[in-house]
């Protein structure tokens, strides 16, 4: 029987970027946008706040775009300070690359295993789905979901008792499946 696990965000991740005021490395997304129009051109930024000093920084969403090329529903979401849009834009690789930032997901996600009834079975087939692109080590997910230590999961992998079509070392942010044999 296939068990489904979901890795889901609990809040917006921290933005890793150096603060020009205090030198801190972490910002939190406020979920607010600044939109500025000059004649037929429009700019939009996502505002982030330094976790140490509270200084505001702007992450460019788009610059000097023709107003007509921006979808009306996107403009409405920007004006409404849509937190869902902030989450989408933070995960957008183009926006992160343009602003030279990375995300810190520590403490901003949780694993939903759907209960503990799967723990007493001899063989567990698990499908892990990511609700957002959250980079997590599969070993950590397996340990947390099965109530094991990470060292024990590593040992089970080397013994061939945890099997997957993907490499279980390193970090993943995409769906995968694995089988655990006790």
Cα(57)–Cα(48) distance, rounded to whole angstroms? 5
pLDDT band at 140 (very low <50, low <70, confident <90, very high): very high
Residue with tokens 């989408």: 88
In this predicted structure, what is the pLDDT of residue 78? 95
Question: φ and ψ at 9, to 5 degrees?
Answer: -70, 145
Is 108:160 a contact under the CB 8 Å cutoff? no
Alpha carbon 179 to its chain centroid, in Å, reads: 25
Q: Which is more confidently placed, 176 or 119?
A: 176
**136 vs 171: CA distance, rounded Å:** 5
pLDDT bracket for residue 137 (50, 70, 90) = very high
- The predicted model gives 94-114 an average pLDDT of 92
In the chain the beta strands, taken as DSSP E runs, fall at: 2-9, 14-16, 26-38, 41-50, 56-66, 102-104, 109-112, 123-130, 162-164, 176-181
58: three-class secondary structure by DSSP: strand
pLDDT at 119: 67
The whole-number pLDDT of residue 182 equals: 77
At residue 177, the pLDDT reads 93
């Amino acid at each position: 029987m296939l068990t489904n696990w979901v890795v889901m965000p609990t809040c917006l991740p921290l933005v890793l970027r150096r603060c020009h005021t205090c030198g801190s490395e972490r910002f939190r997304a406020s979920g607010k946008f600044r939109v500025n129009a000059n004649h037929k051109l429009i700019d939009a930024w996502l505002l982030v706040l330094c976790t140490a000093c509270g200084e505001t920084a702007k992450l460019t969403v788009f610059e000097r775009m023709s107003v007509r090329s921006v979808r009306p529903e996107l403009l409405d979401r920007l004006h409404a300070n849509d937190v869902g849009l902030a989450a989408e834009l933070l995960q957008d690789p183009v926006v992160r690359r343009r602003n030279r930032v990375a995300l810190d997901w520590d403490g901003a996600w949780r694993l939903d295993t759907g209960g503990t009834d799967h723990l007493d079975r001899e063989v567990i087939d698990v499908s892990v789905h990511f609700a957002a692109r959250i980079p997590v080590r599969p070993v950590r997910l397996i340990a947390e979901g099965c109530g094991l230590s990470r060292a024990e999961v590593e040992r089970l992998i080397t013994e061939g008792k945890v099997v997957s079509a993907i490499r279980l070392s390193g970090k993943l942010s995409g769906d995968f499946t694995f089988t655990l044999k006790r």
